[in-house]
Structure 1
């Protein structure tokens, strides 16, 4: 019996696949070349050679722009997987040579970095030492960085698009394991001079200072406010809770912030939120009972939602005791 024929494995380099990955996602090939620290000519030649070896046109021109072809999109999915596995191989080799002394790359959303995950961060720091690299970003970029093998672990909002869509933009982006970390109460914060009549009427809440449009938290907050009958019209956007709190103090709008946001309890006038679940949560109807009008800067109205945080790791990645330490310490 003849053995089954095998498809020839194309002779490709990880550099060529990295060129494809970067050129596909950068706003322009000029920016892609800058990110890769090569000339645009070298980038073009590298992609042309990749196309030659695959026998497939990866990009097509639309006006003056070069965009991925339909075949290029399918090839990119596989390129993401190959590069992530190549990164796993490199880390495994490093750990076999040096033990677990190699770099450990951890991604956190801002509130996880400053509050929710501080004990776990400290535990990993003791284990990893100077090899710990921490990146603070928003949920979708962090999730995709894990899925591409660029981070070992990230703590993100559970409902982010890279998880809920299964990575619809990139088929490889569903390959993650998810571990529940915490439920984070998000409280409505208003300027100190808000009246009781406004507090008790959600139709009069706002305007708002919010996380950027399209971000995971913004989508959750907009939906929750509409469900309460409030208009989520936004006058200022920032991903930094400290900036949003400062804008509320200046009277530029209302915000919804983690109840442990830096400075909120120190500067706020209300009692600490009760931690009630979001289902059926109601505003207090007045300024919190523990208010002290002297020096008041903001008023905490009440909880709007409880944001779910999860830790994501890539399935198939080599085991690492630093990941295990983080997950048991969080």
Structure 2
């Protein structure tokens, strides 16, 4: 066996799907299938159960994956340590967020200050981010809801109100504040489950004993304001967005407890955090501290 076979096995084990893993690895599916077959032959046991046209990790594969994850994580940490020893200009950092619009400003300014750092970005739901951290795919996550895992550490970057955005001319547009009860029956723009705006909306409506009328659901939280401005409905938007976007609409405060967002930086406590990742963490904390104090930001 070789290192490439282990990388291939890890990808297939996570996906339990050959074609998806092949697309992720950018290799031909037959080549990936042969690599897995050779690995199983070398080990002398099957790592997957073949179920129809699919794969399912069996008990041999599950045990082997735990060892492979640890071994590859150690090798990745060693690579990052060597990059750190060579200096920040040769470093790299992988980052995930629920919407990449959260990172646009901070990444732009960080790259201007540290042009040699290689940054890789992912857009992921909360569950995906937690899995990416544990698998060592990302170093840092910008999360607006708690990520599960006792091995994760957080650093608060931003705590803000979440406002209700309505299109210009809407019946609520002339008000400064609303209650959740005022929103009964209104077409509501939000995200799919797994993203913080949906989790917050579900919680607020449930507390008010109401069932929301979700008429538009997306996988891009950053698009919510534009969809509302286009007249597709009303929805919850973080106050920070008022200062970084130009959404046509009216913003109202919501009289409901816990109608706010906390943006946290999350990383694994038991993994090596490169100098580049540490520098980005400190840079992000300063960036959000400054930008939220600027006029018209909140």
Normalized against structure 1, the TM-score is what?
0.70
Q: How many residues align?
A: 276
Among candidates 280, 298, 306, match of residue 260 of structure 2: 306
| 1:136–1:31 distance in 2 versus 1, CA, 3 Å | closer
Q: Secondary structure at the match of 2:138?
A: coil
Alpha carbons 2:95, 2:139 under 8 Å: kept = yes
1:99 aligns with 2:87: yes
Among candidates 191, 194, 207, match of residue 211 of structure 1: 191
Unpaired runs of 5+ residues, structure 1, are: 1-11, 167-173, 274-280, 284-302
Unpaired runs of 5+ residues, structure 2, are: 286-298
Give the superposed CA RMSD. 3.2
Normalized against structure 2, the TM-score is what?
0.77
CA distance in 1 between counterparts of 2:210 and 2:231 reads 18
What displacement does 1:126 show?
Answer: 4.5
**CA offsets 1:286-311 (integer angstroms, 9 cap, x no match):** xxxxxxxxxxxxxxxxx862122211
CA distance in 1 between counterparts of 2:64 and 2:265 reads 29
**CA offsets 1:228-256 (integer angstroms, 9 cap, x no match):** 33322311112334532233233322111
- Which residue pairs with 2:289 in the alignment? none
CA distance in 2 between counterparts of 1:270 and 1:34 reads 42
CA distance in 1 between counterparts of 2:45 and 2:114 reads 44
1:133 aligns with 2:133: no
1:148 aligns with 2:148: no
- Which residue pairs with 2:54 in the alignment? 65
CA distance in 2 between counterparts of 1:72 and 1:27 reads 11
CA distance in 2 between counterparts of 1:69 and 1:310 reads 36
1:75 aligns with 2:64: yes
Q: Secondary structure at the match of 1:267?
A: coil
CA distance in 2 between counterparts of 1:182 and 1:305 reads 14
1:194 aligns with 2:171: yes
- Which residue pairs with 1:246 in the alignment? 226
- Which residue pairs with 2:255 in the alignment? 282
Farther-moved stretch of structure 1 (314-323 vs 194-203): 194-203
Alpha carbons 2:98, 2:195 under 8 Å: kept = no
Alpha carbons 1:105, 1:133 under 8 Å: kept = yes
* Bigger Rg, which one: 1
